[in-house]
Amino acid sequence: MLPGFIVMAISIKKYFMLLSGISSVFTPKPQAELKVDGIHQYVRHPLYFGTILFVWGLWFVFPMLNNLIAVLILTLYVFVGIIFEEKKLIKEFGENYKLYISNVPMLIPSFRKGFRKKFKQNYL
């Protein structure tokens, strides 16, 4: 549960101003930018990854049938959400996002050395 909560907290902190709507009060909406630094260089959907870790961790702490059913439904919901979000991001960022898809895993982070070198060549 704790690793999932940490990943969720990092992701939420990064997007709080954008998702909360507070930033729109103070600043005009900036041009959308593809985020490929920080945690996004290891996994494309860190908030979804953290959420899945967290809810499955909860199930391991409280292994009841109703919790298992809820976790399975939530996991399925996350995967469906990712499919729609990926389509939206491809429309928004085009070839840059397709290149990002080919270099960064969707949900399971990759820390391989060859992966990091390839990622740095393409993005950083």
Domains within the chain, CATH numbers bracketed: 2-115 (1.20.120.1630)
Q: Give the model confidence (pLDDT) of 20-67 as tens digits.
A: 555 555 555 556 788 888 888 888 999 899 999 999 999 999 999 999
pLDDT category at 117 given cuts 50, 70, 90 is: low
Please report the DSSP string for 16-82 in residue order. Answer: HHHHHSHHHHHSPPPPP----SGGGGT-S-HHHHHHHHHHHHHHHHS--HHHHHHHHHHHHHHHHHH
pTM over 0.85: no
Average pLDDT score over residue span 83-88? 93
Average pLDDT score over residue span 87-106? 90
Average pLDDT score over residue span 70-93? 94
pLDDT category at 77 given cuts 50, 70, 90 is: very high
Q: Which amino acid is at 26?
A: F
